[in-house]
Chains A and B, each alone.
Chain A
Amino acid sequence: MSSHVTPKKTYFAVFGTLMALTALTVAAATVDLGGLNTVVALAIAGCKAGVVIWFFMEVRHARPMTRLTVAAGILWLVIMLILLSSDYISRGWLGRSQGW
């Protein structure tokens, strides 16, 4: 285990960042960006998850094996999202007769 002690101000900074990003999510939802609304919301959510993993979960002080484990989880999520997107992006390409 890492013996690193994180100062309280880091946690407050993480909390402030998460609140600010939440406000940004709400604000972005009120602007009509068409299909980009989802992309923006997911991007902000991704940033929030990154902040939690890196600072709150102390991955920045973790050993390489722990970081590799975290990376594996993120890689699996990316695999799922990319292959899911392959369906959602191309489902309308054949016009109204979607899929078969």
Chain B
Amino acid sequence: MNAALAPPPSAPPPAETPTHYLNANYGFRSWMFTLDHKRIALLYLASITLFFFIGGFYAVMLRLELVTPAGDLMSAENYNKSFTMHGVMMVFFFLIPSIPAVLGNFLIPLMIGARDLAFPRLNLLSWYIYMAGGMLTLYAMVAGGVDTGWTMYTPYSTTYSNSHVMVMAVGIFINGFSSILTGLNFIVTIHKMRAPGLTWFRLPLFVWAHYATSVIQVLGTPVIAITILLVALERGFGFGFFDPKLGGDPILFQHLFWFYSHPAVYIMILPSMGVVSELVTCFSRKKVFGYKFIAMSSVAIAVFGFLVWGHHMFVSGQSIYAGMIFSFLSFLVGIPSAIKVFNWTATMYKGSISYHTPMLYVFGFIGLFTIGGLTGLIVANLGLDVHLHDTYFIVAHFHYIMVGGAVMGYLGGIHFWWPKITGRLYPEGWARFSALVLFVGFNLTFFPQFLVGYLGMPRRYHAYPEEFQVFNVMSSAGASILGLGYLIPMIYLTWSWRYGKLAPPNPWGAKGLEWTTPSPPTTFNFEETPVVTEEAYAYAQEQETEESH
């Protein structure tokens, strides 16, 4: 959308080094005590990148172990600890905060014409809480690790595991508050701080997606926090919540755990969908198809996401009748997801598509998310899930959603807004190359896992029958390519921050208030409060104007 600034901006004379949020002040304290949402976003960017590479290290260890059928690289116990740390780091400390805490933090005030989030101090507190949770979890890792899996199923986690469950549980518990506070901040900001003229149905779809995500964070995260607290109470003080010997029910833990942790998948994927909505319109030079349907489908996903958790428990001892309800509801969640995919492809139809790196990630997202979503329907089926439960088919399915979907969107967004964040352009050739490497590496890693899972290879074992080796070798080879695909952007993005070409305010010719600010923006984003006079993604008007000339 274009903004008519009131009063109309007069072009200032170009200064040699314009002041922006990065050079407004310097020093360690200026970053550690900053209240600027953009700087806090960068603090998150650095932190989640650290946790991503720690989680990635464990993934490397797992794939190396699985190259051969015998458990020869590490013991079963160490393998258990490795996949636990991989899952915990990636889910709680990378995927969940990735887009909301980095891109959401940076962009939501810019997109709605605000000078900051509603509660800047709360925003900084969220980061400190996140770091405290992360450090405690890292301590659990260094002190000897945890072998329960990221799901921490009871009664193993409460009664039998001899690893550092309590420390990690407290780390995740603390981290949950960061998520709640970020969600709360976004909800209040979107309600109260929109620029004049920016009505709900003029909001960028990225903002709608984050609004839906925030609702999940605020309503769902307290449940996992309390659940972890119950685990701690049972493990530490012998309260009988989950252990049958103490009169508890282990399946109750799974209910409470998945009541949050299934919607958590939507905390990961909804913001990514918001990114894709922005990118697909910009690089198709077309107004998004079915704006209201995409916006409302985000809300629908947030609501439906809370009704389907029992599909993780079809074979756990949950009532078969409850399973039937959860199976039916799980199929329903495919509808709003499909609406989005159809609307993105319809947006591209007859669009003027350009193949810049962010758009390559969009193509990757749509293809991989569709595969992940459709295989989700397969495992939502009660009968098929008996065969596929806890096999590599499940591992492949959720990686297609959480990596193929969420991470593709994250990287697409990082590339798209990189010029705005840093004021520098990244090298397009390298970026396209790495997007391709990532796509190939990802599919080579995870597609064979569908096959080997269907053939019956269970997850979470460090040894396996020899007939599965060919699939595992393919998967491990793919993982090495995938790792390269993550390292290359890490290198050229870091390089471009210092040596990249200077970016103009709007290098993509994109719509949206954030592109009306300088690159990088000033500390308070807008000199004057912008007034929005157009609907979102008014690319059609631009085209019509060009054609009339």
Q: Are A100 and B307 closer than 8 Å at their CB atoms?
A: no
Considering only residues 2-53 of chain A, those with a C-beta below 8 Å from chain B are none
Instruction: Indicate if A83 sits at the interface (CB-CB under 8 A).
Output: yes
Q: Are B325 and A99 closer than 8 Å at their CB atoms?
A: no
Distance between Cα atoms of A57 and B34 in the complex (Å): 32
Distance between Cα atoms of A87 and B258 in the complex (Å): 14
Q: Are A80 and B223 closer than 8 Å at their CB atoms?
A: yes
Distance between Cα atoms of A83 and B321 in the complex (Å): 11
CB of A1 to closest CB in B, whole Å = 13
Known: A65-B191, A72-B219, A80-B223. A86 touches B325 (CB 8 A): yes
Q: Which residues of A are found within 8 Å of B309, using beta-carbon distances?
A: 83
Interface residue tally of chain B, by bracket? Answer: 20 to 34
Q: Who on chain A is nearest to B219 by CB?
A: A76
Known: A72-B219, A76-B219, A100-B314. A83 touches B320 (CB 8 A): no
Distance between Cα atoms of A76 and B309 in the complex (Å): 13
Q: Who on chain A is nearest to B382 by CB?
A: A100
Q: Are B306 and A90 closer than 8 Å at their CB atoms?
A: no
Among A73, A79, A93, the residue within 8 A (CB) of B321 is A93
Q: Which residues of A are found within 8 Å of B191, using beta-carbon distances?
A: 65
CB of B212 to closest CB in A, whole Å = 13
Q: Are A100 and B322 closer than 8 Å at their CB atoms?
A: no
Instruction: Indicate if B104 sits at the interface (CB-CB under 8 A).
Output: no
Interface residue tally of chain A, by bracket? Answer: 10 to 19
State the main secondary structure of chain A at its contact with B: helix
Distance between Cα atoms of A84 and B325 in the complex (Å): 11
Instruction: Indicate if B436 sits at the interface (CB-CB under 8 A).
Output: no
Considering only residues 50-91 of chain A, those with a C-beta below 8 Å from chain B are 65, 72-73, 76, 79-80, 83-84, 86-91
Q: Which residues of A are found within 8 Å of B251, using beta-carbon distances?
A: 87
State the main secondary structure of chain B at its contact with A: helix
Known: A65-B191, A90-B321. A83 touches B310 (CB 8 A): yes
Most buried by A among B310, B314, B315, B319: B319
CB of B244 to closest CB in A, whole Å = 13
Q: Who on chain A is nearest to B260 by CB?
A: A80
Q: Who on chain B is nearest to A97 by CB?
A: B320
Q: Are B307 and A91 closer than 8 Å at their CB atoms?
A: no
Distance between Cα atoms of A98 and B63 in the complex (Å): 37
CB of B459 to closest CB in A, whole Å = 19
Q: Are A73 and B219 closer than 8 Å at their CB atoms?
A: yes
CB of A69 to closest CB in B, whole Å = 9
Among B215, B317, B322, the residue within 8 A (CB) of A83 is B322
Q: Are A99 and B319 closer than 8 Å at their CB atoms?
A: yes
CB of A27 to closest CB in B, whole Å = 22
Q: Are B307 and A79 closer than 8 Å at their CB atoms?
A: yes
Q: Are B306 and A91 closer than 8 Å at their CB atoms?
A: no
Given contacts A73-B219, A86-B319, A87-B318, 19 further A-B contacts (CB under 8 A): A76-B306, A79-B307, A80-B223, A83-B309, A83-B322, A84-B252, A84-B255, A87-B319, A87-B322, A89-B319, A90-B319, A90-B321, A93-B319, A98-B317, A98-B319, A99-B315, A99-B319, A100-B317, A100-B386
Q: Which residues of B contact A (CB under 8 A)?
A: 191, 215, 219-220, 223, 251-252, 255, 259, 306-307, 309-310, 314-323, 325-326, 386
Q: 24 pairs across A/B with beta carbons < 8 Å?
A: A72-B219, A73-B219, A76-B220, A76-B306, A80-B259, A83-B307, A83-B309, A83-B322, A83-B326, A87-B251, A90-B319, A90-B320, A91-B318, A91-B319, A91-B322, A93-B319, A94-B319, A94-B320, A99-B315, A99-B316, A99-B317, A99-B318, A99-B319, A100-B314
